[in-house]
Amino acid sequence: MSLQFDTANSQLLPRLRVELVAAMLRQQPLTPTIQNAFLHMPREVFVPYFYERDELERKRMAWKQMSPDVMPAHQYLALVYRDDALVTSVDSRGMPDSSSSQPSIMASMIEALAIEPGHRVLEIGTGTGYNAALLAYLTGDADLVTSIDIDPRLVQQARNALSQVGIKGVHTVLGDGYQGYQQNAPYDRVIATASAPTLPPEWYKQLAPGGRLVMELHGSLEGSFFLLDKNKQGMQAVGRFFDRAIHFMPLINRDVITPSLMIHLNERLAQPCRATFELPAGSPLPAILKTRSFRWLLQWSMPGCQLQERSQTSQNSSIIHHFYLCEPETKTLLCFLRREPGGHWQGSIFGSRPLWDDLNNAYALWHQLDCPEVDRYHVEVNEQGQALLSVGAFSFALPQ
């Protein structure tokens, strides 16, 4: 599919890019160099079409393709230059599996990278190639940029788009991003545009002494913008978090289990019920399970845990609210139930683990630490490459 724009639309493009940069500046300061990168880079070439949910299809996950073939080109351009993530690929289940990231999020991560001309950069997750193009602009030499993706279709599309905008030399590699790309290492900067539940060892090994890495570190419940600096000796590193929730597609790798968002309730509820109890009036549980800072701590103290909330209307028209917490290793399920109006929360445990006690212990720890927000946590990587996530006097080993 090729984009054909008339002269009027060509004149529209500079204004749309200026408006996009202005929208990003309303959220955060950006260096003039990064502003110029977005002003010069044609997002429409990298996103010749995208998908939006078809709201008329309520019974299934349905999408409609947006492109200049189905609407006037100027309308399409206005959509492309919104400060929004754009879904660019949908799998056979109807689930998004690739996107062009929200420009303001891209700008935040690139700003945090502090790229200087001459830096060698590794990007994990090529996607459309738009971010790789921005990185090439900032390094001043496209040959210094390596971008890897596991999807051959996306890699080829990115190569075509980069060529179309005149950027030659970016190393677009088909491969497993979890392994990085040793051939062009070491890298002064590493950026991941796919979320991961840990710090992949190869990314750390391929980061040069004095180098910097940015990514979304996403556990089973919450993710956050993470920045890691390796010391100049290359022996240790310290990382910190920015309390800004960002959402990337998960890293695809057969050896890395991305935390599931689905709980197989029927299977879990078929287990023996080990205990039932009623929560006292005014209990912070289970409502605290909606609080981001508590969910952040819970996912590290109970690795891989999953949460689900749902409501349903009973035959007598009362509303039944459910919270489910599942611990994956033992498959134990903690179920909270409340009937409206006027009901109290009741709890049941299905499985072998004393999950109610574990949840209360996590809540007590969270309070003991003064309910820390995400940006109070830090990560230290020792000489053996072991990564510890810490807050106060408590540490949790990041999963391997």
Tell me which residues are annotated as active site: 101
CA dist 213 and 227 (Å) reads 6
Cβ atoms 251, 196 nearer than 8 A: yes
C-alpha torsion angle, residues 110, 116, 122, 124 (rounded to 10)? 0
For 68, phi then psi, to 5°, come to -65, -10
Buried b (16+ CB within 10 A) or exposed e, 153-178: ebbebbbebbeebebeebbbbeebbb
CA dist 391 and 388 (Å) reads 10
Put residue 374 in one of left, alpha, beta given phi > 0 → left and psi -120 to 50 → alpha.
alpha
Residue tagged 């979890």 (tokens): 178
